[in-house]
Amino acid sequence: MPETAAALLPADEAGWRLEDYLRRGGYGTARRVVTTMAPGDVLAEVRQASLRGRGGAGFPAGAKWGFVPQGGSGPRYLCVNADEAEPGTFKDRLILLRAPHLLIEGMIIASFAVGIRNAFVYVRGEYGPAVRRLEEALAEARAAGLVGPGLFGTDFGLDVVVHRGAGAYICGEETAQLESLEGRRGQPRVKPPFPAVVGLFRSPTVINNVETVATVPGILARGADRFLGLGLPKDGGTRLFCVSGAVRRPGVYELPVGTPLREIIEVHAGGLPEGARLKAVIPGGLSAPVLLPGEIEVRMDVESLARAGSMLGSAGIVVIAEGTPILDVLMATARFYAHESCGKCTPCRIGTSWILKIVGRLRAGGGAPDDLDLVAGLAEGIKGRTLCPLGDAAALAIGAMAAKFRGELERAVAR
Partner 1 sequence: MSAPKTVRLTIDGRAVEADAGTNVLRAAEKAGIAIPHFCFHPGLDVEGSCRMCLVEIEGLPKLELACSTVVREGLAVRTTTERVRRARRDVLEFLLAEHPLDCPICDKAGECRLQDYYDLHGRHPGRMLEPRESRAKKVPIGRGLILDRERCVLCTRCVRFLRQVTGTGELGVFERALRSEIGIFDGTPVDNRYAGNLVDICPVGAITSEDFRFRTRAWFLTRRPSICPHCSRGCAVSVESRAGYPLAEGERRVYRIAARENPAVNGFWMCDLGREGRRDIEAGRLSVPLRQGRPDPGLSWTEAAGEAAAAIGRIPAGERGEKTAVVLNGRLTCEELARARASFVDGLGCRNIFFADSRPGRADGPLLTAERTPNLRGAVAAGFSPRLPDLGELAAARVLLVFGSRLAEHHGGPELARALSGGPRTFLFAAHAGPLDGLAEMAVPVAVPAEKSGTYINIDGLAQAFDRSLEPAPGGPAEGAVLEALARGLGLDRGGGDGR
CB of 50 to partner 1, least distance (A): 24
Which 118-147 positions form the footprint of partner 1 (CB under 8 A)? none
Q: If binding is defined by CB under 8 A, does position 85 make contact with partner 1?
A: no
Work out which of 387, 393, 397, 401 binds partner 1, going by CB under 8 A.
387
Q: How far is the CB of 184 from partner 1 (least distance, A)?
A: 10
Q: Tell which one of 268, 309, 354, 406 touches partner 1 (CB under 8 A).
A: 354
CA–CA distances in Å: residue 290 to residues 295, 360, 384, 410:
10, 20, 19, 18
Q: Which of residues 235-274 bind partner 1 (CB under 8 A)?
A: none
**Interatomic CA distance for residues 157 and 259, integer angstroms:** 38
44 contact partners, CB below 8 Å, separation of at least 6: 62
Assess 203 for contact with partner 1 (CB under 8 A). Answer: no
Nearer to partner 1, 114 or 395 (CB): 395
Among 113, 351, 402, 413, indicate the residue that binds partner 1 (CB under 8 A).
351
Nearer to partner 1 (CB atom), residue 170 or residue 278: 170
Counting contacts by CB under 8 A, is residue 344 touching partner 1?
yes
Q: How far is the CB of 331 from partner 1 (least distance, A)?
A: 15
Between CA 358 and CA 339 the distance in angstroms is 15
CB of 196 to partner 1, least distance (A): 17
Distance in angstroms (rounded) separating the CA atoms of residues 42 and 116: 13
Can you tell me which of 168, 311, 312, 320 binds partner 1, judged by CB under 8 A? 168
Residue 114 and residue 308 in contact, taking contact as beta carbons nearer than 8 Å: no
Q: Which of 84, 101, 352, 412 binds partner 1 (CB under 8 A)?
A: 352
Stretch that binds partner 1, among 79-87, 100-108, 154-162, 382-390 (CB under 8 A): 382-390
**345 touches partner 1 by CB under 8 A:** yes
Give the CA count within 13 Å in the CB-facing half-sphere of 333: 31
| Residue 226 touches partner 1, criterion: CB under 8 A | no
Nearer to partner 1, 245 or 351 (CB): 351
86 vs 392, beta carbon nearer partner 1: 392
Piece in contact with partner 1 (CB under 8 A), picked from 26-34, 113-121, 150-158, 356-364: 356-364
Among 94, 214, 338, 390, binds partner 1 (CB under 8 A): 338
> Rounded to the nearest 5°, which phi and psi values hold at 368?
-130, 155
Q: Which of 11, 71, 183, 190 binds partner 1 (CB under 8 A)?
A: 190
Binding site for partner 1 (CB under 8 A): 168, 170, 185, 190, 338-347, 349-354, 357-358, 361, 374, 380-381, 384-387
